Amino acid sequence: MDTTQLLKGVLDVAVLAVVAREDGYGYDVVRRLRAGGLEEVGEASVYGTLRRLYSSGALTSYVVPSDEGPHRKYYGINAQGRTMLAAQRKDWDAFSHAMTGLLAEGDQR
Amino acid sequence: MTTMLLDRVAAYAEAVRSHLADLGPEIADELTDGLEADLAEELADRSIDGAETADDTVLLDLARVFGPAGEYALELRSAAGHAPVPSARRLRRTPVRDAARSTWRLWEAWGRRLVARVAALPGGGWLVETVPLLRPVWWLVRGWVWFVLLMVLTGGTLGAGRLAPFAPDSFVAWALLIAAAVVSIEHGRGRWAERRRIGGLLVAGQALAVLAVVPLAAAAWTSATQAHYYPVYASAGSDPVAAPQDGVVVGGMYVSNLFVYDAQGNPLHDVQIVDDRGRPVRTVTDGSDSVWSLPGVADPWQFAPVVDASGRDRWNVYPLSGAPAGEWTWDAASGAPVLVPGASLQQPPAPFGAAEALVGTGVGGSVAAAPPGGADGTVPDAPSATGSQAASEAPATPSEPTAPSGAPAQSPSPSGP
């Protein structure tokens, strides 16, 4: 199965969940998603998703300068993001429950 | 991480950015803000893994690590919710477009190098961080430039007041200024970045604003500093009455002289006229060298003041006497106008020898015209009388044109009609 297609639909909620645990910058979020099992996630997709969630008002953002190299852009979740995360989490629970049920039935036949 | 690697990372980020150029600089910057740090860290991670970077030459070509910059940019923009693939029309190349694009890239690269160099200077970091915060100021200025250009293009139909075209002074102009500012601010915030047609127009507007802002600001400054000297009645044009100056105006035109008649209709001479505050009423306001056309007289006339007992010129003693302009010359020493030898001051022709007589003055306050016989042009015992005599002989009239005792030292010889 092409998991990249599956990932597309859930990347938003995955990124929200990761950032909700702790503020993070782009690559930090990628690393945490990969550590969480989403090995295939593309960095640019994560960065773009962070930018979009920020533009839509679900995330806050701040820049942390670095002595050694380029500055890092951190993202954190805000109230709107938490509301969005809660709603999507509920949707995901319902969806995954349905899928699990469907696939289980298919197995029995 | 070595400086060389950081340079590579910066170059790769730059390449990604160039693939986002069609979104406009603000969105492209927003999408790639912090990208260098992310790329650098990922690169460091991978070199720890040792899998992909066993060979240093791989690091020199980051496209082999992260994929082609174009694909990276495509993934970034589509994840960020921007039009994922530029349409075919967008990609259509023309020599002009290519030239514009490469020029733009050249400038952009030059600008980034400049920024990097400035950032390295003492205090440069502060400058580089602060200047972008002033972007909204530029948005407002740009809106103003567009407003002025529109005002100029519409040729003053939207308001042609004293402030035009640099400041609004009509409702429509205010609306236009606000609209221009809003469009500029929204454009600055990247509102129409993906609307190609509007975007192109706005980019052209930006270029125009950059070119026009300095000359327009200079012109506005000049206009603002000179505005103080504009007369308030400038719009009245050449109508002399509109300008409040000294002088006596009758029927819309300045008069050169006043002729005074007593209640019997006899002409009076050397009558001093003052206004309700006791200020002298003068017809000739700018010295004695102004030249007046008299009705029915070929030569223009120039007038002279009466010199009073204390030697002061008095210009409110009427009728003024004078001489045709040809009989005047200038005193070599003082530059004052003087009569040529042999010429003398005369009273200019009066409109009529005698005016209509009044009867009943002072009786019940009513004034009525005399019977026709009194106004048939005859001059009853008049012109030989001097001004003071004439005044004292006159019965009380509403205006009481009596000359004070210390009156005119110079009595021009009255000339009869």
Interface probe with B: pick from A11, A51, A61, A64, most Cβ of B within 10 Å: A51
Of residues A87 and A71, more confidently modeled: A87
Nearest CA to B299 among B321, B283, B323? B323
Chain B touched by A27 (CB under 8 Å)? yes
Chain B touched by A98 (CB under 8 Å)? no
Per the rule left: phi > 0, alpha: psi between -120 and 50, beta: everything else, B262 is: beta
Q: Which residue has the tokens 């995954």?
A: A96
3-state DSSP call for residue A64? strand
pLDDT at site B352 = 84
Model ipTM over 0.85: no
Q: Give dist(CA B13, CA B11) in Å, integer.
A: 5
Say which of A42, A47, A55 has its CB closest to residue B38: A47
* pLDDT tens by residue, B36-76: 888 888 888 776 554 444 445 555 577 777 888 888 888 88
Residues of B with CB below 8 A from A42's CB? Answer: 75
Residues of B with CB below 8 A from A73's CB? Answer: 33-34, 37
Interface probe with B: pick from A7, A15, A27, most Cβ of B within 10 Å: A27
* pLDDT tens by residue, B208-266: 888 888 988 888 888 777 755 544 444 444 544 455 567 788 887 888 888 999 888 88
Report the residue of chain B nearest A74, measured CA to CA.
Answer: B34
> Residue B400: how many CB atoms within 10 A of its CB?
8
Q: Give dist(CA B303, CA B258) in Å, integer.
A: 12
Of residues B410 and A51, more confidently modeled: A51
Phi, psi values for residue B278, rounded to 5°: 85, 10
Chain B touched by A42 (CB under 8 Å)? yes
Q: Do B75 and A27 touch (CB under 8 A)?
A: no
Indicate the pLDDT class of residue B202, thresholds 50, 70 and 90: confident
Chain B touched by A51 (CB under 8 Å)? yes
Chain B touched by A62 (CB under 8 Å)? no
Tell me the percentage of chain B whose pLDDT exceeds 70.
69
Expressed in angstroms, the distance from the first to the final Cα of chain B is 114
Say which of A49, A52, A70 has its CB closest to residue B37: A70
Say which of A47, A66, A72 has its CB closest to residue B76: A47
Q: Do A43 and B73 touch (CB under 8 A)?
A: no
Report the residue of chain B nearest A26, measured CA to CA.
Answer: B38
pLDDT at site B86 = 54
Residues of B with CB below 8 A from A46's CB? Answer: 79
In angstroms, the separation between the Cα of residue B40 and the nearest Cα of chain A is 9
Q: Give dist(CA B356, CA B372) in Å, integer.
A: 8
The sign one gets for the Cα dihedral B239, B240, B244, B250 is: negative
Phi, psi values for residue B304, rounded to 5°: -125, 150
Q: Do A31 and B45 touch (CB under 8 A)?
A: yes
* pLDDT tens by residue, B263-292: 888 888 889 999 898 888 888 765 656 778
Report the residue of chain A nearest B65, measured CA to CA.
Answer: A43
Say which of B40, B77, B81 has its CB closest to residue A69: B40
pLDDT at site A13 = 92
Say which of A44, A71, A72 has its CB closest to residue B79: A44
Residues of A with CB below 8 A from B46's CB? Answer: none
Residues of B with CB below 8 A from A51's CB? Answer: 30-31, 76, 79-80
The boundaries of the domain holding residue A82 are 3-108
Residues of B with CB below 8 A from A52's CB? Answer: 79-81
Tokens (6 digits) for A80: 């709107």
Q: Do A44 and B37 touch (CB under 8 A)?
A: no
Chain B touched by A14 (CB under 8 Å)? no
Report the residue of chain B nearest A72, measured CA to CA.
Answer: B34
pLDDT at B368 over 60: no
Q: Do B41 and A55 touch (CB under 8 A)?
A: no
Interface probe with A: pick from B4, B29, B45, B76, most Cβ of A within 10 Å: B76
Tell me the domain boundaries of chain B: 3-92, 134-229
As a residue count, chain B comes to 417
Tell me the percentage of chain B whose pLDDT exceeds 90.
4
pLDDT at site B361 = 56
* pLDDT tens by residue, B114-156: 888 888 888 888 888 888 888 889 999 999 999 888 888 877 6
CB-based burial, B213-249: b 16+ in 10 Å, e otherwise: beebeeebeebeeeeeeeeeeeeeeeeeeeeeeebbe
3-state helix, strand, coil in chain A (%, to 5): 65, 15, 20
CB-based burial, B257-273: b 16+ in 10 Å, e otherwise: bbbbbbbbbbbbbbbbb
Indicate the pLDDT class of residue A105, thresholds 50, 70 and 90: low
Tokens (6 digits) for B148: 């002025």
Q: Domain holding A66: CATH number?
A: 1.10.10.10
* pLDDT tens by residue, B4-46: 677 788 888 888 888 888 888 888 888 888 888 888 888 887 7
Indicate the pLDDT class of residue A107, thresholds 50, 70 and 90: low
Please state the domain count of chain A. Answer: 1
Nearest CA to B379 among B332, B415, B338? B415
In angstroms, the separation between the Cα of residue B33 and the nearest Cα of chain A is 7
Tokens (6 digits) for B374: 């009194």
